[in-house]
Amino acid sequence: MKISLGAKAFAYPTPVFVIGSYDEKGKANAMVAAWGGICSSDPVCITVSVREARQTYKNICLKKAFTVSIPNEDNLKEADYFGIYSGKNTDKFAETGLTPIKSDLVDAPYIKEFPLIIECKLIKTVELGVHTQFIGEVVDIKCDREVTGDNGLPEIEKVRPVTYDPVLKRYYGIGRYLGKAFSIGKKD
């Protein structure tokens, strides 16, 4: 017998995505978003949801581009900072000491110090009440060489991404390896 909790924004896991964008003067901004994820394999697309009041909302509408920078455990404090303060009255990069790098492919900045970044051009905007869902086509993934393995692909144990628990508003690391997908459930 399950207990009912009502219509809550509860799911596990949710990501800690830091969305990078430029305003009309080219000032780099970043905000943290847990409402988002990959939404298509071909073309590869990713979604992020943003409230209209945010500077990031204006920036994405203007530039039709954004990036997603994925923090690791070591730069989680800076990511959290990006979720607390507004880019309207602060220079978030100056405050955190992080470095915005202009993407060579889209008109948006990514965060140099974060291990994995996703460059997106806006292809759809979906209005959903208090949030607007921006759907970006992924034009490139970039990562630090140090987080890749022998096959040249990122390894999650090296990236050390984080997850957000929306129920109790806490961050967690990624835990132990549990098995290979499309494999451990096979019937003999």
Q: How far is the CB of 70 from its own copies (least distance, A)?
A: 6
* Residue 91 dihedral angles phi and psi, to the nearest 5°: -100, 100
Among 79, 89, 98, 108, binds its own copies (CB under 8 A): 79
Residue 113 as a binder of its own copies (CB under 8 A): the answer is no
Q: How far apart are CA 66 and CA 83, in angstroms?
A: 16
Size of the site for its own copies (CB under 8 A): 99
Tokens of residue 65, six digits? 């581009």
CB of 151 to its own copies, least distance (A): 9
Q: Tell which phi-psi region holds residue 26, choosing left (phi > 0), alpha (psi between -120 and 50) or beta.
A: left
The answer to whether 117 contacts its own copies (rule: CB under 8 A) is: yes
Pick from 24, 94, 185, 188 the residue near its own copies by CB under 8 A: 185
Stretch that binds its own copies, among 22-30, 55-63, 74-82 (CB under 8 A): 74-82
Q: How far apart are CA 144 and CA 158, in angstroms?
A: 10
Please give the Cα distance from 77 to 115 (Å, whole number).
Answer: 15
Beta carbon nearer to its own copies, 7 or 89: 7
Number of residues assigned to the chain: 188
- Give every CB contact of residue 79 below 8 A, 6+ residues apart in sequence: 16, 18, 32, 71, 162
The reply to whether 102 sits near its own copies by the rule CB under 8 A is no
Q: What is the dihedral of CA 89, 94, 96, 100, to 10 degrees?
A: 110
Do 65 and 28 touch, CB atoms closer than 8 A?
no
Nearer to its own copies, 25 or 112 (CB): 112
Q: Which of 47, 99, 106, 150 binds its own copies (CB under 8 A)?
A: 47
Q: Is 53 in the site for its own copies (CB under 8 A)?
A: no
Residues 151 and 5 sit within 8 Å (Cβ to Cβ): no
Q: Compute the least distance from the CB of residue 158 to its own copies, in Å.
A: 11
Q: Contact between 181 and its own copies (CB under 8 A)?
A: yes
Question: Which residue's CB is nearer to its own copies, number 24 or number 184?
Answer: 184
Instruction: Confirm or reject binding of residue 184 to its own copies (CB under 8 A).
Output: yes
